[in-house]
Amino acid sequence: MNQKNLQLLLCTNGDPASYAALEYGVWIAKILRIPVILLGILEGYQEEERLVKLINQTSARLKEQGIPHLVQYESGRSSIVIPRLTASRDFITVVGPLGRPTWMRIFQGRSFRRILSRVETPIFYVRETRTRLENILVCMGGLGYSTSVQSLCLSLAKITGAKVTLLHIVEPVSYRYPISRDIVDHWDTIYETDTPQGRNLRQAKARFESAGLSVYLKIRHGSPVHEILEEILRGQYDLVGLGSPYSAYSLRHIFMPNVTAEVAEAITCPVVTVRFQHRPAPWEIKWARNHDTQHDRK
């Protein structure tokens, strides 16, 4: 991505289910101080009047907040239009439920899953608006899949002063290799072990602490989806950060549940997810420079 042209892509197909995402998008754009492309997706001509009205209302709110924005209309399915636009430009996408009828969700699955599998840049999935950011949960992956989403959550925490909780789930294992034995036998103290997961946790915690943030560590043992949902139920989180592997087509996805999608669809708290990247993304570099400069001026 070109770090000079970062924008927020705020999406709606006009369905009332997307109202919360639009409100959240206006709020988060003001926090991030980036311009907005307000995208109206016309999926059916019978929805055009409602879509135009909703776009006009959101545009007025953006104008009231002094947020630079452009309105853009596209025809087609959201799960095709959004990935196509994000592939050609530098976006952080905000999208919510698209109001699909039950029969369509049963036979075709949720549109969010197709968007998630096709978009490589950050996505905020919003089912219910929460215009505060005081407590962020970052779900850690044992192999470093959360590195990119850590960077985004770190930037958000630096801007808002939010406290951060790093959550690591130790999954049950079927085969007792030496490393897996160390992990399972010492799951509650994995942070202290000389395993890839232990080193990853220490590095992540040090990364947030070096930015001057309040960071907490929680370890759970069990099914990732179940344990993440239990933690969210017990905590009072304003945002949940979830990473994903190198691509949506990794072998893990054939045999294991799509943890990010299942969690996002089960909770009302906003979720942010970022595809894993081997190198720092340009938006990470941009925010790091911007906020380091602002800190120096204080």
pLDDT in the model for residue 190 = 64
pLDDT in the model for residue 54 = 95
Residues of the domain holding 148: 135-297
Residues 87, 225 within the same domain: no
Of 115-129, 136-150, 257-271, least confident by mean pLDDT is 136-150
Residue 182 or residue 107, greater confidence:
182
Residues 252, 212 within the same domain: yes
Determine what percent of the chain is predicted with pLDDT higher than 70. Answer: 73
Residue 130: inside a domain: no
Residue 232 or residue 170, greater confidence:
232
CATH number at residue 65: 3.40.50.620
pLDDT in the model for residue 224 = 87
Residue 120 or residue 213, greater confidence:
213
Of 69-78, 187-196, 265-274, least confident by mean pLDDT is 187-196
Residues 139, 53 within the same domain: no
Residue 292 or residue 229, greater confidence:
229
Distance CA 92, CA 69 (A): 14
Number of domains in the chain: 2
Residue 28 or residue 274, greater confidence:
28
Residue 70 or residue 281, greater confidence:
70
Q: Which of 75, 98, 125 is the last residue of a domain?
A: 125
136-181, pLDDT tens digit by residue?
999 986 555 678 889 999 999 999 999 999 998 887 665 455 555 5
Residue 267 or residue 144, greater confidence:
267
Residue 247: inside a domain: yes
Mean pLDDT of the chain: 81
Residues 120, 141 within the same domain: no
pLDDT in the model for residue 216 = 94
Q: What is the mean pLDDT of residues 100-122?
A: 70
pLDDT in the model for residue 39 = 97
pLDDT in the model for residue 145 = 67
Cβ atoms of 2 and 281 closer than 8 Å = no
The model carries a pTM of: 0.84
Residues 93, 167 within the same domain: no
58-106, pLDDT tens digit by residue?
999 999 999 999 999 999 989 999 999 998 888 999 999 987 655 455 4
Alpha carbon 247 to chain centroid, angstroms = 15
Report strand pairing: 271-275 vs 123-125: antiparallel
Residues 120, 169 within the same domain: no
pLDDT in the model for residue 231 = 95
pLDDT in the model for residue 197 = 75
291 pLDDT higher than 50: no
